[in-house]
Structure 1
Amino acid sequence: MVIKEAGLCTSAPIPVTIGAGGALLANVTQAATSCNGAADGTITVTPTNGSAPYQYSLDGGPNQGTNTFTGVSAGSHNIVVRDAAGCVSASIPVTVAAGATLTGSATSTATACVGVNNGTVTATATNSTGPYTYSLDGGAPQAGNVFSGVSAGTHNIVIRNTLGCASANIPVTVAAGTTLTATATSTSTACVGVNNGSITVTPTNGGAPYQYSLDGGTNQSSNVFTGVSAGSHNVVVTDNFGCISLPLSVTVSAGTALTATTTSTSTACVGVNNGSITVTPTNGSAPYQYSLDGGANQASNLFTGVSAGPHTVIVRDNFGCISAAITVTVATGSTLTGTATSTATTCNGASNGTITATATNGSAPYQYSLDGGTNQAGNLFNGVSSGPHNIVIRDNFGCISAQIPVTVAAGNNLNATAVSTSTSCSGASNGFITITQATNGTAPYLYSLNGGVPQPPGVFNGLAAGSYTIVATDAGGCTSGPIPVTITAGPPINLSLGKTDVTCFSSANGRITATPSANATAPVQYSLNNTTWQASPDFTGLVAGSYTVYIRDAVGCSNSATIAVGQPTQLTASTSQQSVLCNSGNTGKIFVNVTGGTQPYSYSLDNINFQPTNVFNVVAGTYTVYVKDANGCVIPPINNVNVTEPALITAASVSSNATCDGGNDGTITITPAGGVSPYQYAITGSSFQSAGYFNVAPGTYDITIKDVNGCTYPVTGIVVGLTNNLTYTPMVDPAPVCESKSASLQLTTNANQFAWTNAASLSNSTIANPVATPKATTLYIVTATLGRCTITDDVLVSIMPAPIPDAGPQGDICYGKSYQLQGTGGVIYSWTPSTYLNDATIYNPIVIPDKTVTYILSVKDANGCSSLVTDQVTVKVTPPIKVTIYPSDTIVQPGAQIPLHAFSAATDYTWTVASGITGLNNSYIADPVAIAPAEGDVVVYKVTATTSAGCQGDAYARIQVYKGPDIYMVTAFSPNGDGKNDVFIPFPVGIKQIKYFRVLNRWGQLIYSTTELNKGWDGKIGNTEQPSGVYVWLVEGVTMDNKIITKKGTVTLVR
């Protein structure tokens, strides 16, 4: 301890020791239970120290003031004692001994048969003191020692007395009765695929009346099943005791398959659908139905208008038997053929040939077409051009021949010749051309010169030297090829000049005389310095100087010569010239150099207008220069000062054609003349180049020539043509294909670019051989291009439409019934899913579904084409109707009237006795009244409820007859909503009132309570389901004579 004073001073800790008192002790005695399992032992506790009053606790339970514990079970226990001072003893162990074990025995009677629960068990207690209760397999205890309605097998009995003593499990075995057996016979179906067989069942033991079920279907009272399909089936028999046989296997054989034979007649020719097929059944039962290639059924066995090729026939007889598909081939008739002859055109280029076509087989009247043109009745074609052609013939049956090739020859070319006469000299226009009479044509003839207007004369005159082209045309329009002809120029005329010098310096008495050559044509004219022309060859009054004399004769021939007239030396002058750069230009110059005389000099070209400079800017020509000095002295004019110019630039052009795929492989060659070389050349839209050769595409071009002085000359309208070298082979239509399938288009050509129509259905619309996948028959047109050249062709891709499946009408059946599907639209069938189907590959399979199913149908037709769409049919299955009976399991006294209540959506009810003795007031209403038989009997009623649609459902009610008064309880229940044992309910026998019925969980919590008769617990607290397990129940009732019956026990809830 620590001491602290008021002044807050504190002592050092002072140690103090408190001693412990003695432990609380007690003595314990016990009294054994009355028997093994009873809880009626006692324990007495006597404290040996401590302070009273005391408190006592058993096995950790609550404290009590009394020192004696009663109702203690056998076994080990612990006591704890508390005194008034709060002291607690250690646990004091004590063992309560168990009394003698309750024992007993049990005997049994067998069930009527395997699977029926109508055995009995009888229990007998062999020691201890009654009264006793008995429980079977952990079920509710009962006062009676006999258990009825027991299943075959091993069971356990437990016996209890009022002291709570319970025996160990007493095993007892209930034997199973003899298994119900039967025999069965069958009759076969009429044929494969027809469900008209039958099965007859004969029970060999058990108790009548019997119920019969085929392949798990609804029970029936008749032992004969009709309308049965071929194949293996199972029959189950149920007797009056509820005994059920094992499935009895029986096979219904299939009848003979329906067969038939066929004959056919061929078509008239290839491509015509007028064949026929006749079908003859070889067995089966009339009348028959016939189907061709999956088409509609018909009563006639003759099919007409049939195409050539393989076909499929199916026969159906009066029983609905269907033959296998019978393949028959209709042959193809002969191909239509013919010949063709021709007459040539009158000349090359004319379109006046003829073609005559002749059919060599087939049936008249015929139709004829030329080169794919319109059909005509006549076999003669007029106005035909020369070259290859094709004829196609069609006959009265629509048969079409292959193309018949025929060539129309071309007539001879029109010929003519031309002769030219030269001009008298260079520069004259007096040449002419004479044309001889044309040959190989029809007179009269016309002639044209250089593309001019044709004219009848055969002579063209007044022509200059040069190249010309003649074309002849006859009365029939035939033309000759271009006839080239050239007119040459004659020899030039010459002249010689004589002169007389001036007598003195600056005199003007000089003279020139011209003498022409002998080939000049009079009259002749002369000109001095190319000025005035005169008839006289003499020129007088001339000053000294150089002169040019020009001469021309009557036909335009000309020449010139130069001569100088001398003078004494005095004032002199000389000239020099610079030529004009371009013809007709003004860039020429005259330079004058004067010596002697008196400066300054003056210069003139006309002796009127003088200038101080010695340079003259002039056009081309011959000039006279005048000079005078400062004193007015003159010199003779300087004549014949010749300023030259280049000749006018001219040119000739030659061109060659371009090809389709050669790019710019056409050519133009220019040959220039005149001007001053070297030349340069420029084609339209380009710069100048040194070569006069051009590679070009087809077209019309202009070319400009430029000489070294920059002078230009245009050559216009040069035409470059096109030579077509594109080749191809006409296309052939491919074989028809199924819808959605592909065909390869084959075009043979040297073209390198392609454009197909209907490109959306092609693999590539820009190649020669695309793959076509059209949705319908389609004509494809291709344009093939090689450079600049194109051709157009077409090809037809025929589409065989995909078959369209029809899955037939929707089905609506009751649970356990069959439905036959009815598919159409093909010859091969495929149903999915195959669940519940007897055959998923036939058009009419049978289905027995246990739930609603949707089947999808796809088909193939006789051409092997698959359907692109599917059809579906839903077989709606109405589930078995739910039927409940109240009460479904009850215990009554002998002779009691039990109102039975059937609940369902049905309209009709039929009650039968599954086992026991019949005792209903009406077997065909929903609420009959049953009369309980003798004590110990068990009656099971079966109600079959039928809706207006014919759908059914079953339920059972079990009535046990016990002697009362008593309250019976089941040992287990399963509230799963199946209408069987869903409610845990007391079964009162001879009880007029339920004072209480309570259910407690394992912790002692009250979870259900009622005072109403025929009310029970549904396994829930409110709306919450309780878990599986063991629950405790308590019930108390009042008998008809006002006695009280109280019972308790446990029940197992099973989920």
Structure 2
Amino acid sequence: TVRAPLPVRVVKTPVIGLTKSADGCVPVNFNLSGNLLNADTAVMNWQWTFSDGRVANGRQVNAMPFATSGVFAASLVATNSSGCKDTATAQLQAFALPVVNAGADKTICQGTGQTITATGASSYSWSPATGLNCTNCAAPVATPAAATTYYVTGRSAQGCIGKDSITISVKYPFEMVHNSGDTLCAGESTQLTASGAAVYAWSPAAGLNATNRAAVQARPSASTNYMLVGTDELGCFKDTAFFPVKVYPIPTVNAGSDVTMNVGQTRTLTPIISADVTAVNWSPTGGIFRTDYPSIDIKPKQTTTYRVEVSNPGGCTATDNLTVQVLCNGANVFIPNTFSPNGDGVNEEFYPRGTGLFRIKSARIYNRWGELVYEKFNVTPNESAQGWNGTYKGQKLAPDVFVYMFEIMCENDEVLVYKGDIALIR
């Protein structure tokens, strides 16, 4: 056995530490540095590992990012050229941002405060300060004069910041836009309308087809002053409107019974009307020769149906009719049976006369032997100058009895035919 001494070199084990930047709020960047705590001239190898699986080489790591919150472990291994090594560890904490919630947007009545409450942080700061009773509290009372968006900044115990906002709208007094009332006749209806409110309440309900609409149909049986109260959707403010609806009765009229009269005659028509009637109108106007409210005096030439319409101050109307039957008969015509053309100026001519006569279509007179001694056509009635003066061919005829034939047209276009005897007396 041969024994010989061998030299053994003992190398110092490195002793290391590490330093890191302060913990922070996400996203946070850490700066880390390895420190050699004992003197060693050997070449050192530095290797970092992190609990989230990332690795890095080098004595220093700058701006190592952490985007999510949590506690992370950092381990640093330093190895010298002889393979001797040391390990240093540290905890890295990334603080979560507070989830700040200012609540849902709100609408307030003008002049009325509303508490707004922020949650999710340890302390709060509100802006703008206008309308708030405090700006560094969790739940200030907001009383803005106009719509305002408030921003709240919440800070956690670690100093991390979260933000949110809430808008406070303001409901103001309003005025409804509406139509006016109306004047109706009994049984009629009218539409009453309004706008500008969210909720509508009509009263009284009598005669209305609804009481909670912006537009309603009104058919009252008597004059009514309807009231409408409009409210906004929050019940902050109200407006009131009135709709007077005056109801007039339907007037009554009775024109009377139908009438039969002879053409050329006159008749007074007097209707029976209700006390509220203020106007009476008759039609057609033909044949009316005088008006004496509510009556008319008529002298129609033809059979006529008269219509009378009455109205009251509300414009409500009623009508009635009556028919006037116009006749032409013997009551309209007078034909004498004697005449005396002797020059005394009395009863000198023979001619038909009467009322309601339009013309004598034909006039013929014959002697006892059937000889035509007088003939005329389209003679104006009631004119003695158009009559027969008792002559034939310019010669005066002796007293005798003659036969006449007349076709007489009345003013109602009826034609009457008359035949008879006329005695000529000297």
State TM-score, norm by structure 1: 0.22
Q: Which has the higher strand share?
A: 2
Pick 1 or 2: higher relative contact order, CA cutoff 8 A, min separation 6: 2
State TM-score, norm by structure 2: 0.45
Question: Which one has a bigger Cα radius of gyration?
Answer: 1
